[in-house]
Structure 1
């Protein structure tokens, strides 16, 4: 096991290993079919930030919780039961009264087609006026969460921050409070054009992202998301020679760490999406002194949604456990690959399976 340079608070009786701040939606999945012709949907819970907490708990056995809001109706109760079914602590959920028709608050919905071959995956969100988008900084007692109760890691992301001015301010308040209490902070820029393109003030959105990144220990993103979300001028880096070329993203990571002195590392995935059913796939982590890259592999996809979130969960698990940066990218890339082999927003797998994929074990049947 290599020495770890990434610093994170030791386990010392904290209530949680990690908390995730973000929106939890109900995902309606038509399976192999299409939304326009569906007659039934499978239902999952998911969200870019929550998926990390779910993976840390269900795959890696960490104590995690979610900071979110739900409507006090049957859909909110369904989401709560799904969250609890994954072992994630739902005790910090903020419940908002429901007016009967969703005028003031509602459950966010996400309709997702998996795609296949030349048919790309498709996601359609129906989340306006959702309970989570209306979260405000005073909804949580940050001093109690990070001080009295104790947590080692806070994860949030750009999807939540982009929902509204309120959610952006909530994320900023959360990461600042976490840093005051010595809690490690990770932020996945998770750029979504459908959110940012509709934002009333792109400059305000970039300012919010920069304010959050300034408090982070681990930033997740590549040169594209750094340019779009942080407003960094990376035009001189050019295009990737190949989709799995680590060079431009690493160069952008070095510049991000120069811009944000609190950053300990930047993590990102490398993906070659030749078609919707097979991707080239790898993970990378750039610290201030060294680049760590996983082995690249060809991954056959059942459902690509959540692969990046599962990668983050594997990275955070290794850093929380003191396994070192190389183990972080190896376990992260393996966990992400397994997440894309199962339906839903998160991996349905075990630590033993993740470690086997990270070692490069074959996929022969086990009986």
Structure 2
């Protein structure tokens, strides 16, 4: 038994098809590069989604078998998304395909137009995702016993963006985490609070009601004091952050979350300060039930090409370390390094290797390698 097994028992790996499955929406991201959305004449297209990005990072960077649980329309755009997912090596065999009416009244692919930002011009995201195929996913569209039973997956990852899309996706996320727990599958959940999604909900308390029910079934929760207050209704009651990189308020909030959610074993959150769209401070913190706290090296001057997806890459690296049986500090360092590298390339996902992640963890310099 390794040191981490006493805090976070590794999910069994015997005869499992996947190391992780991710439940969430996969959108098309339209990236104008250095231009603006409002005046662009061309876009590069990427696939992305808060939950899916974690599965892709685990597969592409860390070589772990993963699958995505989502829905797509059966048309050329849906096939494009599938092809992009396949290029990332993620298993598409559990995608729910919906018949398309020809114009998108009944189902469509969600679109996300995203500017990377530069200097004083902040990154900007504009979503066009209403009536998407994934927003209509219902709990009975997946065979949970097959996914989580013998021969299924070791880990389930989902998040608050998917849960916020509709009442049916909220119920699907809740069904997924409950079935996973019943089968002994590890569960992670990124609160990933988006006010624009939750504020349109007819129930003003939906964010707290839904997120609290899902988080209660989880082993690993990703969030800070802001998302704990918005999503769980847990105010930490302490002082505000002295700086964006000050983790003390979030540390205090984690203690309250552990008290409120007895099944929870770990809480993690990245630390970020945007000096400009092109330069951030970056790091991360990991808390374990029982009081252990790990903090990564804080990089106060990290050059950024595209910040979108950095948090998802952080989660992917962290999960890889936990699945590997790494010490908690090493698991956190892998997450922070992977997140940092993901923000050096365009698109939502890291274009990196495990060797490069390890080099960042070791603190190797950025001299050219030949």
Q: Pick the TM interval, shorter chain.
A: over 0.9
Provide Cα deviations, 1:140-198, integer angstroms capped at 9, x if missing partner.
Answer: 01011111432110000000000000000000000000000000000000011211222
Q: Does 1:138 align with 2:150?
A: no
Q: Which of 51, 62, 65 matches 1:63?
A: 65
Q: Tell me the equivalent position of 1:338.
A: 341
CA distance in structure 2 between the aligned counterparts of 1:283 and 1:42, rounded to whole angstroms: 30
Q: Tell me the equivalent position of 2:250.
A: 249
Q: Tell me the equivalent position of 1:163.
A: 165
Secondary structure of the residue aligned to 2:178 is helix
Instruction: Report if aligned partners of 1:66, 1:93 keep a CA contact under 8 Å in 2.
Output: yes
Secondary structure of the residue aligned to 1:284 is strand
Greater mean deviation of Cα atoms: 4-13 or 82-91: 4-13
Q: Which of 303, 306, 309 matches 2:309?
A: 306
Instruction: Report if aligned partners of 2:163, 2:169 keep a CA contact under 8 Å in 1.
Output: yes
Q: Which of 181, 184, 196 matches 2:183?
A: 181
Q: Tell me the equivalent position of 1:258.
A: 259
Q: Does 1:351 align with 2:336?
A: no
Q: How many residue pairs were aligned?
A: 366
CA distance in structure 2 between the aligned counterparts of 1:293 and 1:148, rounded to whole angstroms: 35
Secondary structure of the residue aligned to 2:118 is coil
Q: Tell me the equivalent position of 1:120.
A: 122
Q: How does 1:215-230 map to 2 (within 5 A)?
A: 215-230=217-232
Segments of 5+ residues of structure 2 without an aligned counterpart are none
Q: How does 1:196-207 map to 2 (within 5 A)?
A: 196-207=198-209
Q: Tell me the equivalent position of 2:277.
A: 276
Taking structure 2 as the reference length, what is the TM-score of the superposition? 0.97
Instruction: Report if aligned partners of 1:66, 1:90 keep a CA contact under 8 Å in 2.
Output: yes
CA distance in structure 2 between the aligned counterparts of 1:237 and 1:100, rounded to whole angstroms: 54
Provide Cα deviations, 1:27-52, integer angstroms capped at 9, x if missing partner.
Answer: 00000110001001000000000000
Instruction: Report if aligned partners of 2:333, 2:361 keep a CA contact under 8 Å in 1.
Output: yes
Segments of 5+ residues of structure 1 without an aligned counterpart are none
Q: Does 1:78 align with 2:80?
A: yes
Q: Tell me the equivalent position of 1:291.
A: 293
Instruction: Report if aligned partners of 2:341, 2:350 keep a CA contact under 8 Å in 1.
Output: yes
**Superposition deviation, residue 232 in structure 1:** 1.3
Q: Tell me the equivalent position of 2:33.
A: 31
**Superposition deviation, residue 54 in structure 1:** 0.3
Instruction: Report if aligned partners of 1:8, 1:183 keep a CA contact under 8 Å in 2.
Output: no
Provide Cα deviations, 1:251-284, integer angstroms capped at 9, x if missing partner.
Answer: 1111111100000010000011111110100011
Aligned-residue Cα RMSD (Å) equals 1.1
Taking structure 1 as the reference length, what is the TM-score of the superposition? 0.98
Q: Does 1:321 align with 2:324?
A: yes
Secondary structure of the residue aligned to 1:202 is coil
Q: Tell me the equivalent position of 1:3.
A: 3
Q: Which of 204, 214, 217 matches 2:216?
A: 214
CA distance in structure 1 between the aligned counterparts of 2:100 and 2:206, rounded to whole angstroms: 30
CA distance in structure 2 between the aligned counterparts of 1:366 and 1:107, rounded to whole angstroms: 40
**Superposition deviation, residue 243 in structure 1:** 1.2
**Superposition deviation, residue 344 in structure 1:** 0.4
Instruction: Report if aligned partners of 1:306, 1:340 keep a CA contact under 8 Å in 2.
Output: yes
CA distance in structure 2 between the aligned counterparts of 1:196 and 1:241, rounded to whole angstroms: 28
**Superposition deviation, residue 8 in structure 1:** 2.5
